[in-house]
Structure formats: structure tokens, C-alpha cells
Amino acid sequence: MAKLPILQFEEKIIETVQNNIVTVLIGETGSGKSTQLSQILYRHGYAKSGTICVTQPRRVAAVSVARRVAQEMGVRLGEEVGYAIRFEDRTSSETLIKYLTDGVLLRESLSDPELRSYSVIILDEAHERSLNMDILMGLLKRLISIRKDSNFRVLVTSATLEGEKVSGFFNGCALLKVPGKLYPVEIIYNDDDSKKNYIEAALKKAIEIHVKEPDGDILIFMTGQEDIEKLVKKLEDRVRNLEEGSVMDAVVYPLHGSLPPELQVRVFSPPPPNCRRFIVATNIAETSLTVDGVVYVIDCGYVKQKQYNPATGMYSLDVVKISRVQANQRAGRAGRTRPGKCYRLYPSLVYNDEFLEAAVPEILRTSLAGSVLYLKSLDLPGIDILKFDFLDPPSYGSLGDALRQLYLIDAIDENGAITSVGRIMSEVPLEPSLSRTLIAANENGSLSQALTIVAMLSAETNLLPSFARGSEKKRKHTPLRLPDGDGLGDHIQLLQIYESWSETGFDFEWCREHGLQIRGMSFVKDVRGQLCHIMQKVANCSMEVRGSHASRERKMGYKNLRKALCVGYANQLAERMIRHNGYRTLGLKSQLVQVHPSSVLQPDDDGMFPSYVVYHELITTSSPFMRNVCAVDMQWISPVFKKLENLDINKLSGGFSDSENDVQGEVQDEIKKEVKVVETSADRDSKIQAARERFLSRKGKK
């Protein structure tokens, strides 16, 4: 293999790193930043005074890059070279080069705020602009002024010009550009925009290339797993039906984040001779993973993006246009080994006029509750979250939303100080609603069950067969019926599924018969064990892990468990509307939503859905839905209403409540408005009750 561009600059890199505490390194994707930089530093003795740590925004990348580096160095993965991702640590005391997700590094900084075990911290792939990466940059900026040990170094790498912005953020630190060797890539646009049928358009183009063009692999960018699976299947069919001998052989590989690791790494091994590879990927192949041998790129022009609206608490999973930077990254994948071609399935007008220059960073489109809690838990002196040094500061609205949630779930007090509950929460690697649920469950004796639910929710893949949650998909073998949560909702169903499996002694056959994903279920079991361990450590709990109270809890309608969920989801509460066939959320701006059709929540014997539910997630697809809901009792939620009455966002942020900032004032007004809404809604409880009684008596007369 030709020498990677980074290696040709080894001396220059070392010289720069020696003379500068922070170095920003810009290099073309595939130039060797992720795999070589750590090894270069290792060779020059930087692992002598500590471990070299490399963060990755994606789990897949952390694992695959660590594996590759271990291979190149001829060591066993987990020894000198290892990785750590949430719920999976493959490092040892011998580890000298450690790949980890940026989330894991943030968590480590809680117990070791100065990150003393690391001699070098490489923030890799800064251009991805993950939320955790942005927070890490803010922290490291502080850390370099605190850690004065002469050898401590920070490197930030980026594939794009984002690097210049980063270097500006670090007060104009050293900036090194490694010119990548890129062959010319011919860009071919499509005349019409094929948003509706980009799968078909990609299929047509891919077969056309396969039939007409010389050898070279084809990389196709789709938006997500679903598209990829569809296209892979269609491609396989088409390739099979091509006349034998008329074209070369071909194999089709999917590549996305939820693929099992052994299928992910397949793309890194050389293809069989005389065989063309079709690689159908998400944007993971844009900059995180470089597949060698690609000569043709097909770019659909879209990406699937989760966006959060802090005013409504609503997520939407949208297929959005990529940015020009992304489009150029995608095209660049075709020119790594020889001149290539990039087929854009959209017109040049769309590229020029409709694409943004760069993608919107995650910090501007996600919920910040977890990050704000993290920052609060650091006890940085005089820190006002609203004024933290961010590369791209989030809006006051989204910080306000995060503070409000943290206050409602008791993680911070009315002055914005982190509470003892908040401290425990920050040590549990879960989103705030779930860590709060565990603590509440620990207090009321339902921890064992809560751990199960939380582990099931953290599975990272879809555990249940899709038909079990509503849609009627045809399958070869109809799986057996799953427990139904006693009609109380999806959390209870998840619990019952796990408990039934546990009763079989964790028999995989049982999973298979019930259409449950085996890999996912064993992951849940493992995660549950880890969470149990963490809870014992941080919350000092002495619980019975096996849950001998299971049948008693069930008889009581899972009261304690649902109460605990109600505490954790205090900011995710909805009230049934009498007139409308739906629920009204109690977020900053209330929304009319429906229970997701896949839910197992059932009306009671009188045909009434519960008056109040908590939900795990609000998501807009065809219309706004609550996903994973659980019925709760009216009495349990009154503490939440009380709290809403004395809410002051400026105080919560850790700043002063007499701030003159107008925007903060705006947030304040919103909240006051909402408190009013909530007051009336509390009053309405009695009205609801009365209406319910009238309804029942009418029904009785019939």
C-alpha cells in the first residue's frame, strides 16, 4: 500500500506538537489521521508519561479504528491498543493507545477532572461537530491552562475547513494542513431532483456503471438503514439476473452504524479477484470510515437527521438535504486510488442554491439536558451555563429547556445548584430521565424492574419484531405473542418481555420464537448487569437484582415502578383531552399528540385511556406521536405542578436572576405563560373527573 499522506509529514507533525500545546490538524479523509496520528506520537515517546487517547464521535469508528491500529502494531486488541465505548470497555492497564467515544471521555473527566492518565488527547473528527465534541473542546480549553505538565498535548483533527474555526477557538493555536493526495473526480449531475425515488435512481445508476464502466468499487450514499436494506436487496436481485459472463461478478455490502461488527469490518478486507463491490452506506462512509478501492460514488443528496425543538420537546427524524461540504466529502471518496466519478442524483442548481454550506452542528439541534447536567456536576467555579465557552453557542431556548427539565427531575435546585440526586445522576451513563427513574425506583423498592426497563430502552437497536408493535408485516414464521404490559404501556411490556425471557434461564430459543433480536437481548442483559453494578456503587443500594418481587409488583399494577417512571419523566408528561382523541403535552409549548400506533397502552374496562401518561419520546413522523408511554396516576404529578410555579431560568443557569439579557427574559416570559397553563390544567383535574363521571353514567344508562 502506498504510504499514507500523514506519514510523509511525520517529522513536521512531531515538531509542531513538540512546540505547541494545542495543534489543529486538517487532513483529507483517508489521509491517516485516525489510524496513524496516535502511532506517530507513540513512536516518538508520547505514551511514556501516560496513555494516548483518541476520541471518536461514533461507536463504530472507535471500534474499527482501534482494531485496525492493533493489527498494524501487531498487538492484541484490548492490550496495548484498546477501545472504550458506552457499556463496553476493552482496555487494560497495559493500554498505551486508547480509542474512545467522546461521550466516554466526558464521563471519565468526572472522576478525573484533569484527565491525568492521558499524556495526549486527540479529538478526532472535529468536523463531525458532535455535541460531546463541542463540550470537550470547551473543557480542554480550560484544561490546558490548568494542566501545566510539560508533556501534555491536545490535538484536534478535522477533514474540512472547520479546522480553521477550531484553531480560532483555541486562540489561534498551531494549524497544520496535510495535503491529501486526491485524484480528479468528475462530477455528474442528474437533471431532475429525485427526492421521491432516490432508491430507484441509485439502483439504475449503479447497474449502469456496473455494465458500462471499467472495474472499481461503487460507493452509494443512502440516508439510513431502511433505505440501505431496500437498495441492497434490489441490487442483489438485479446483479443475479444479469446474464452470466456479460459483466464481472459483484458483491453488495451494506454499511451503517447498527450493523453487527463482523459485518461492518467486511468492507475493509480485499474483495475477491475480478469482482466489483457495491457498498451501500450512510454518511458514516463520508468521513468516519474510509473504504479502499472506491472509484465511483453515487450520492442521493440527503441525510437522515434527528432534530429537537426545545420549545415543544419534540423530535423529528427528517430526511434533509446534505450540505455542500458533505457533498464534496462524498465525491472525494471516489478519487483516492485513481481518477473517479461522482454521480449526484440531483441537479447542480440544487447543490448551488439549496444546500447549506456546512451541516448544522448537533449542539444546535438536540436536547441539552444531559450536557448541562454534566457541566453542572463539574463544579467549575462561577460557571454560568448560559455563558459557557462554546464553539457555537446553543440558543437560550434550548439551554432553558434543559435547565427546566433538570429542575423538574430534581437534578438542580431552584438556584441552579446541582443537588445530591443530580450528582448521582451524572455518574450514571444514561439520559437524565432514565438515571432519575433509577434513583426514584431505588427509593421505593422497584429498582430491579426499573433497571430492566432502562436496559431495554438502551438497547441501541430495535429489539421487538416490528409487527409486534402494530404494523402487520408478513413473515415466514409468525412469532409467538409477546406479553402486553397489562395494558399499562410500553415500559411495562418491555419489563415483562425481559422477565419472561429470564424465566426461561435466558434461552435464546425463546427469543427466536418470539421474534426478538438475539444480539440485542444479550446486549440488554449485559447492560442491565453493568447498570446494576453502577447503581450499587453510586447510589449505595442493596437491591435484589433478580427481582423476587416481580409477581407482587405486578399484582399491585406496577405502582412503585410507574411512580418511579413518573418522577424520571416529570418533563415528559401528557394529559388526555376530553374532546379530542389525543393527549396534550405539558412542555413549554403544549402540543396535541397521539399515542404511537405501535403502543400496547390499552383503554380501561370503560373504554377510557388513562388521564395522564408519561412518554419516553415525542416524535413527529406523519403526525406528532408519543413513543413508549406509561400510564400514571394523577396524584403522582402534583409535585411537578408545584415546581413549575417557582421557576426562574436565570437562577437555574447559575447566573443572577436580575440579568439584563433580553433573550433570557423572553424565555422567562414563555415559562410564566406556561405556568398559567399548568395552573389551569391542575384546576381542570376536578373537571376531568366530573366529565368522566358523566360519561360513565351516560354509558351506564345505555
Residues that bind ligand CDP (CB under 6 A): 4, 27, 29-36, 64-65, 68, 268, 290, 292
**Cross-strand partners of 71:** none
CA atoms of 194 and 453, how far apart (whole Å):
41
- CB nearer to Mg ion: give 33 or 210: 33
Could you say which of ligand CDP, Mg ion, none residue 394 binds, taking C-beta under 5 to 8 angstroms by partner kind?
none
Binding span for Mg ion by CB under 5 A among 33-41, 104-112, 478-486, 515-523: 33-41
CA atoms of 130 and 103, how far apart (whole Å):
10
**Distance of closest approach, residue 461 Cβ to ligand CDP, in angstroms:** 22
Q: Up-side HSE of residue 228: CA atoms within 13 Å toward CB? A: 25
Could you say which of ligand CDP, Mg ion, none residue 195 binds, taking C-beta under 5 to 8 angstroms by partner kind?
none
Q: Exposed, middle or buried, 108 (CB in 10 Å: 0-12/13-18/19+)?
A: middle
**Distance of closest approach, residue 72 Cβ to ligand CDP, in angstroms:** 9
Do 374 and 423 meet the contact criterion of CB atoms below 8 Å apart? no
Which residue among 34, 309, 371, 435 contacts Mg ion (CB under 5 A)?
A: 34
Q: Which residue has 433478580 as its cell numbers?
A: 546
CA angle centred on 268, ends 264 and 273, rounded to 5°: 120
List CB contacts of 58: < 8 A, sequence separation 6 or more. Answer: 101, 128, 257, 284, 288
Could you say which of ligand CDP, Mg ion, none residue 292 binds, taking C-beta under 5 to 8 angstroms by partner kind?
ligand CDP
CA atoms of 206 and 354, how far apart (whole Å):
25
**Distance of closest approach, residue 33 Cβ to Mg ion, in angstroms:** 5
Task: Name the grid cell of 41.
Answer: 506520537
**Distance of closest approach, residue 539 Cβ to Mg ion, in angstroms:** 38
Q: Exposed, middle or buried, 627 (CB in 10 Å: 0-12/13-18/19+)?
A: middle
Binding span for Mg ion by CB under 5 A among 27-35, 538-546, 593-601, 693-701: 27-35
Nearest to 595 by CA among 581, 608, 607: 581
Kindly give the pairing relationship between strand 573-577 and strand 294-299.
Answer: unpaired
- CB nearer to Mg ion: give 289 or 457: 289
Strand-by-strand arrangement of the 88-90 sheet: 88-90, 81-85, 97-101, 51-56, 118-123, 153-158, 22-27, 174-178
Could you say which of Mg ion, ligand CDP, none residue 268 binds, taking C-beta under 5 to 8 angstroms by partner kind?
ligand CDP
Could you say which of ligand CDP, Mg ion, none residue 182 binds, taking C-beta under 5 to 8 angstroms by partner kind?
none
- CB nearer to ligand CDP: give 12 or 694: 12
Do 57 and 128 meet the contact criterion of CB atoms below 8 Å apart? yes
End-to-end CA distance of the chain: 82
Could you say which of Mg ion, ligand CDP, none residue 259 binds, taking C-beta under 5 to 8 angstroms by partner kind?
none
**Distance of closest approach, residue 284 Cβ to ligand CDP, in angstroms:** 12
- CB nearer to ligand CDP: give 102 or 410: 102
- Please report whether residue 452 would count as binding Mg ion according to CB under 5 A: no
- CB nearer to Mg ion: give 4 or 239: 4
Taking only Cα atoms into account, the Rg of the chain, rounded to an integer number of angstroms, comes to 27
Number of other residues whose CB lies within 10 A of the CB of residue 470: 12
**Distance of closest approach, residue 155 Cβ to ligand CDP, in angstroms:** 12
**Distance of closest approach, residue 118 Cβ to ligand CDP, in angstroms:** 19
Binding span for Mg ion by CB under 5 A among 29-37, 97-105, 174-182, 547-555: 29-37
Question: What Å distances lie between residue 244 and 215, 216, 239, 664, CA to CA?
Answer: 17, 19, 10, 68
- CB nearer to ligand CDP: give 54 or 439: 54
- CB nearer to ligand CDP: give 9 or 407: 9
- CB nearer to Mg ion: give 34 or 312: 34
Coil, helix or strand at residue 657: coil
**Distance of closest approach, residue 109 Cβ to ligand CDP, in angstroms:** 24
Binding span for Mg ion by CB under 5 A among 31-39, 71-79, 525-533, 601-609: 31-39
Residue nearest Mg ion, CB atom distance: 34
Do 488 and 630 meet the contact criterion of CB atoms below 8 Å apart? yes
Do 440 and 564 meet the contact criterion of CB atoms below 8 Å apart? yes
Could you say which of Mg ion, ligand CDP, none residue 340 binds, taking C-beta under 5 to 8 angstroms by partner kind?
none
- CB nearer to ligand CDP: give 159 or 411: 159
- CB nearer to ligand CDP: give 264 or 664: 264
CA atoms of 473 and 629, how far apart (whole Å):
23
Tell which positions 628-667 bind Mg ion, by CB under 5 A. none
**Distance of closest approach, residue 269 Cβ to ligand CDP, in angstroms:** 9
Could you say which of ligand CDP, Mg ion, none residue 177 binds, taking C-beta under 5 to 8 angstroms by partner kind?
none
Q: How many residues bind Mg ion (CB under 5 A)?
A: 2
Could you say which of Mg ion, ligand CDP, none residue 599 binds, taking C-beta under 5 to 8 angstroms by partner kind?
none
Could you say which of Mg ion, ligand CDP, none residue 414 binds, taking C-beta under 5 to 8 angstroms by partner kind?
none
- CB nearer to ligand CDP: give 69 or 428: 69
- CB nearer to ligand CDP: give 32 or 654: 32
Could you say which of ligand CDP, Mg ion, none residue 32 binds, taking C-beta under 5 to 8 angstroms by partner kind?
ligand CDP
**Distance of closest approach, residue 463 Cβ to ligand CDP, in angstroms:** 28
**Distance of closest approach, residue 476 Cβ to ligand CDP, in angstroms:** 35
List CB contacts of 370: < 8 A, sequence separation 6 or more. Answer: 431, 432
Nearest to 588 by CA among 684, 667, 663: 667
Question: What Å distances lie between residue 634 and 534, 640, 681, 684, 688, CA to CA?
Answer: 32, 11, 12, 11, 11
- Residue 411 has what DSSP assignment? S
CA atoms of 76 and 504, how far apart (whole Å):
36
Q: Exposed, middle or buried, 503 (CB in 10 Å: 0-12/13-18/19+)?
A: exposed
Nearest to 238 by CA among 266, 273, 206, 213: 206
**Distance of closest approach, residue 23 Cβ to Mg ion, in angstroms:** 16
Could you say which of Mg ion, ligand CDP, none residue 35 binds, taking C-beta under 5 to 8 angstroms by partner kind?
ligand CDP
Do 323 and 286 meet the contact criterion of CB atoms below 8 Å apart? no
Coil, helix or strand at residue 672: helix
Give the number of residues written for the chain: 702
- CB nearer to Mg ion: give 34 or 109: 34
- CB nearer to ligand CDP: give 27 or 610: 27
- CB nearer to ligand CDP: give 65 or 391: 65
Could you say which of ligand CDP, Mg ion, none residue 290 binds, taking C-beta under 5 to 8 angstroms by partner kind?
ligand CDP
**Distance of closest approach, residue 4 Cβ to Mg ion, in angstroms:** 11
**Distance of closest approach, residue 477 Cβ to ligand CDP, in angstroms:** 36
Residues that bind Mg ion (CB under 5 A): 33-34
